[in-house]
Structures are given as C-alpha cells and as structure tokens.
Structure 1
Amino acid sequence: MYSLGELAETLDVILSGDPQCRVSGLATLATAGPDQLSFLANDKYLRQLHGTRAAAVILRPAQAAQCPVACLQAEDPYLAFARATALFAPAARPAAGIHPTAVVSAQAQVDESAAIGPQAVVEAGSCIAAGVVIGAHVSIGENCSIGAGCQLHAHAVLYRGVRLGRQCIIHSHAVLGADGFGYAPTTEGWVKIHQLGGVWLGDRVEVGAGTTIDRGALDDTVIEDGAIIDNLVQIAHNCHIGKNTAIAGCTGLAGSTTIGANCTLAGGVGVVGHVEICDNVHITGMTMVTKSISQAGSYSSGTPMSTTREWRRNAVRFAQLDRIQQRLSALEKSTKN
C-alpha cells in the first residue's frame, strides 16, 4: 500500500487531500472503493467523477474543484496513471537459476542472475544476459542473444540468430525469426527462397501475444528502440520499424516495409510491401496503405460504419461513379462550348 503523500511525491503531482490516506490499488471511477486510486483522463467519464467512491482521483488541475474526494493533480493524468500502474503491478520474479526440467545447451552462456523456467530450451551459442526471465516452454534457437532484463513469457519462440536488446518483453506464443514468405515461381510450382537474415530488436521493445516477426531474406528484420507491438500482428521479412512506433492488433506489414519513428498504426491496418512511411505518421484503423507516405500526418482509407440500408445504397453509387464522372466531363465540355 501507498499513502497519497508517497504517491504525490513519486508521481510528481500535486495532492489535495490527506497525505496519510493509504490506497491498495487502482480501479475505474465507477468501480473504485474507498481504498483505491482512480483517474480521469477522458472528459467522456466526467459524469462518473461526481459519484466515485475512490480514495483519490488523478485528474487535471482544472477539474480539481469538481472532485468530491482527494485528488492528485497532473498536467497529463493518463501519463501519471500509467506510472502509477507500475507501483501496483505484481512484482514477483522467479528465483535466479535453471529449472531442472529446462534443456540448456552446454555451449550456451547463461548469466547466473537469469531465471529459466520449466521445459524451456536454450540451444547452442545463445547468450542470456543478466536479469533475464525465460518462462515455461520458451524455445530459444541457436546463436540468439537476449539482452539484460528481458522477459520472455511462456511458449514464446525465438528461431536461430534472433537478437534482443535490453529490457524487451516478449509475450506468449509470439514467434520471432520464422522464415519470411519468399518463393520463386516456376511452371512446376514454387521454389523456396531460404531466409538467411535474422531479427534484431532494440531496447525496450514489447511484442504482444501471438505476434509473428519474420527473419530477413538477406539483411535483418529490424525493430528499433521503444517500439510497441500489439497481439496478433504480422511483420514480414526485412521490415524496418522506427523508434517508439506503436502497432495495434491484427495489423499486417508485407515484406520490406519501412516505417519511421513515432508512428502509430491502429488495429487492422494493412501495408503493402516495399513502401516507406516517414516519421510521425498516424494511420487509422482498417486503413489499407498502398503507397509510400512522405509527409507526417494522419491517414485513413475505407468507409466508416453506417446502417446496412445506407451502406447498400452507397455501394451502388460507388459502382456508378465512373459513369457519373463521364457525364460530368461531357457536361463541362458542352458548357465551355
């Protein structure tokens, strides 16, 4: 538990209320009890503030007068909330050492402070740095490098030659380093192009559950420092993702896509291969990116939801656009004459 005074000092925010009041966890405005901390970062939930039972609420200074309980005033309440979650997250860490059921090659290097869980496999030539936590049934292929403080959750898979920087998090069933989808066509079928590159992740990269990052054909597939990748994302061979870029679930990147720094790709985005997206680009959900983007900004494609009746009408009109354009052009020519 933390006192509100301790939280105010740790989060570098201004407290209005009893500094000795103690809280045991975090909860939403609607569900928080008298020993819990909540937050208000979206005005959509302002109406819930008036009835909250929380011990205290993180909010903007301009909202403090409306708060019926103690408050922690922050210029960016969402950021303060994010930092508070680290204080209340379960901190249990397995003891250092190798579980007796794990299979670790004699040719692997494992720091004595690392923890390797049940049934995990570490193959020859791989290097496991200080403070690494490898969960149950994780498979690490030959010649991989796992930087200090990384955590690999149960059933994550690293093929040969994958390199992780420091403090990366790889969630369950993520697969890093599988072959890219490369084949040469012949009249008799497909000839496999063997993928000779690897996968390289910088520091503090997080990869969600079930995400796949394919190895490069010749050069490496690269994910730079601070990038965050959601669940069920497909990153094909030789993609290059810039620093602090965020990619949401069910997005698919075709081969040799380059994405700059500080970009966001919302859920379900598709990107064709061999395109380049510059820094500070924001792509909304379900957008299909078919060409390179050279100017920062927000981009969208597709049509938003409407009633089925409206959608059917618009679908018919869409099919009529070419004919309408031809008639419009003819009309413009006739008026000029």
Structure 2
Amino acid sequence: MAAGSGGDPVAGSDAISVGELAEALGARLVGDPDERVDRPATLATAGPGALAFLSNPAYRPQLKETRATAVLLAESALDDCPCAALVVDDPYLAWCMALERFAREPDLDPGIHDRAHVDPEARVDPGAEIGPMAVVEAGARIGAGVRVGPGCVVGRDARLERDVRLTANVTLGPGVQLGERTIVHPGAVIGADGFGLAMDQGHWRKVPQLGTVRIGADCEIGANTTIDRGAIDDTVLGDDVRLDNQVQVAHNVVIGDHTAIAGCVGIAGSTRIGRYCMIAGASGIGGHLEICDHVVITAMSTVLDSISEPGQYGSGIPARPLRAWQRTLVRLGQLERLFRSRRRAPR
C-alpha cells in the first residue's frame, strides 16, 4: 500500500512518539507527547497512527476533518487542528525531514552478483554492491557503499565515489565521475556523445567528443535524463544539483551548486548556469549563454540571451479558454497591419 493511504503502516517503518518526533524536528508540540505515529498520510486520507501536514492553504478545510494522530503545521493554522499539532516555521521542510524517518531503503548487499560482469582491470571496493546484469568496464573505480543496480553499465575509467546509488538500467560513459551520495534514477544516460556536427560537401561529419562528465556530491539525476559528455572540456555539475526526469544537458554545459531543474528542460551546449538557480519544466535554454546565480525561470520559458541579474524570468504563455485564445491569435495577426497603418497616419 502506498505511503499516505491512511491504511496499514509503511513496510519496515517504526512507530515513534509524537514527543520524540517534535524534538527531532525542533517543533513546538501542542498535544499528548505519548501518542505514536507509524506512517505518513495526507490530511484527507489519514487515520489513527498517521502523521499528516498542512503547507498549502488550499488544503486547510481538510484540517478540521482529518483523522490523523498528529499534524505538522504553521502557527496560523493551529486553531483548526483537532489532534496533536507539531508547530513549525516551515511545514513542508519539516514534512520532508519527517518522511526521512519513515523511508526504508533495502540494506546494501556487498559483493558482485553471479550474473554481473566486472572487468578484471576494474577496482570495486568490497563494500560495494554490483547487481545482476550490471557491467563494470576496465579501469572503472567503484567506492565503498556504492550500489550499482540491475542492468547498469559503468563505462571504462568511470569513477563512483562513496555511497553513490545507480538504481537500474543507468548508463555511464567513459570517464564519468560521480561524487559521494549522488543518486541516478532508472534509464539515465550520462556521458553519451554530445551533438557535434560539421557540414562537409553536403554531408554531416561527426565532431569527435573527447571530454567526459563530472558530477559533484549529493546530486540527483532523474529517470531518462541525459547528460552529454564534453567535446573537449568536460560537462560539469556542481554539488547538490538536482535534475528531474527527462532533462537534456548538452555538451560542455556547466551547472552551479544547489541548482534545481524540473522535467523536460533542454539546455544547449556550452551554456553556464549559476548557483541556486531554479528552472521550471519544459523550458528551453539556448547555447553559449551565461545565467548568473539566484535566477528563477518559470515553466515553458525560452531563454535566448544571457541573464546577468538575479531574479525571476519567464516567457511561457498560460493556457486560456479556447475561444479567448483564438481571439488573441487573431489580434496578434493584425498587429503588423495596425503598426504599418499607424506609421502611415499623418501626425
């Protein structure tokens, strides 16, 4: 049963008293500290023994009716809480920290599976786990606590630092480096050739891609995301960079520490993105641009010029009722005619 269903406890989770949880989260407890919770749930689906939270004010009407044993919330919502309340400044952050107590990863099973292939010239720490059908090529180095899941390919001379996790069917190209505790989700491809082509007498000639990809510590790479190797220099992601599913990072892109990029974003080659940036889904970023630190780009935006000032930027057009959008398109088509007529008008 999925977490948050309000039914049976999450498999492998342990109950914790509300008092202990409040202390761990730095929350102010209003209620019985001896009450116990053993699973997370939403306000609407929670039952006895469940911990819920309220962050978005749109869900406040559900708070009065919740059957949760305890709720994480802000001081402003306390009067509507019918159960034990854990009062915090940032309920969503506290919820994230609480979920870490319920999450249970399978224990590492060090060793090389019988159906894995590890080249004799690879170096695998005895404390690493190499799963079934995984391939580790010559010269690769696998650190302690690393989990290489089923069907993964670790290319020649790749380097995985401590506690890296490749979930399943991940492909790492030659020389790729992953920093400590980095997580790569299924289907991701890191270190494939960048898209380099030169026209030669009417035919495309492939430009050899000689760099690799270097990713820092505590990063997360989403499912089916692709990060191309550099043409000469490397493609580089700093520490604590978070990429969602189906993100395309082209060759020689550099992404600064603590930047988060949502699904279906495409970043063209040799663009540099600063630290603490947030790029929302389906945005496209042109090549050879510079984006400074602390930039927010809203969903479906197209970035064709460098950004040198921190702040929020956007160009996506929100959906409108079809008839209203059709009228807007008609008026857009009339702009050129109106502009020309105005220029011809006597002053």
TM-score normalised over the length of structure 2: 0.94
Please give the per-residue CA displacement for 1:156-211, whole angstroms capped at 9, x wherever unaligned.
11011000011000000000000000010122311100100000000101000000
Say yes or no: does 1:99 pair with 2:116: no
- The aligned counterpart of 1:259 is 273
Which position in structure 1 is the counterpart of 2:330? 316
2:149 alignment counterpart: 135
Partner residue of 2:307 out of 293, 300, 303: 293
Partner of 1:181: 195
Shift of 1:280: 0.8
The one of 47, 71, 79 aligned to 1:33: 47
Q: Which amino acid aligns with 2:168?
A: A
The aligned residue for residue 45 of structure 1 is 59
Match of residue 179, structure 2, among 156, 159, 165: 165
Alignment-derived partner of residue 260 in structure 2: 246
- The alpha-carbon deviation at position 329 of structure 1 amounts to 4.0
Provide the identity percentage.
Answer: 49
Shift of 1:14: 1.2
Give the Cα separation in 1 of the matches to 2:75 and 2:302. Answer: 40
Distance 1:148 1:326 in 2: 65
The 8 Å contact of residues 298 and 316 in structure 2, kept in 1 or not, is answered as no
Distance 1:124 1:53 in 2: 56
Contact 2:299 2:316 in 1 (8 A): no
| CA distance in structure 1 between the aligned counterparts of 2:343 and 2:146, rounded to whole angstroms | 66
SS of structure 1 residue aligned to 2:204: strand
Letter in 2 for 1:119: M
TM-aligned CA deviation for residue 327 of structure 1: 3.2
> What 5-or-longer segments of structure 2 have no aligned partner?
1-14
1:84 to 98, 121, 124: 98
Rounded to whole Å, the distance in 1 between the matches of 2:111 and 2:159 is 18
Equivalent residue number for residue 4 of structure 2? none
* Distance in 2, Cα, partners of 1:283 & 1:267: 9
Q: Does 1:117 align with 2:136?
A: no
CA distance in 2, matches of 1:303, 1:318: 14
Shift in Å, 1:16: 1.1
Find the counterpart in structure 2 of residue 17 from structure 1.
31
User: 1:73: which partner in 2?
Assistant: 87
Given candidates 78, 97, 120, the residue that maps to 1:64 is: 78
Does the alignment pair 1:223 with 2:237? yes
User: 2:294 aligns to what?
Assistant: 280
Aligned with 2:192: secondary structure?
coil
In the TM superposition, residue 308 of structure 1 has moved relative to its aligned partner by: 1.3
SS in 2 for 1:177: strand
Matches of 1:31 and 1:328, distance apart in 2: 61
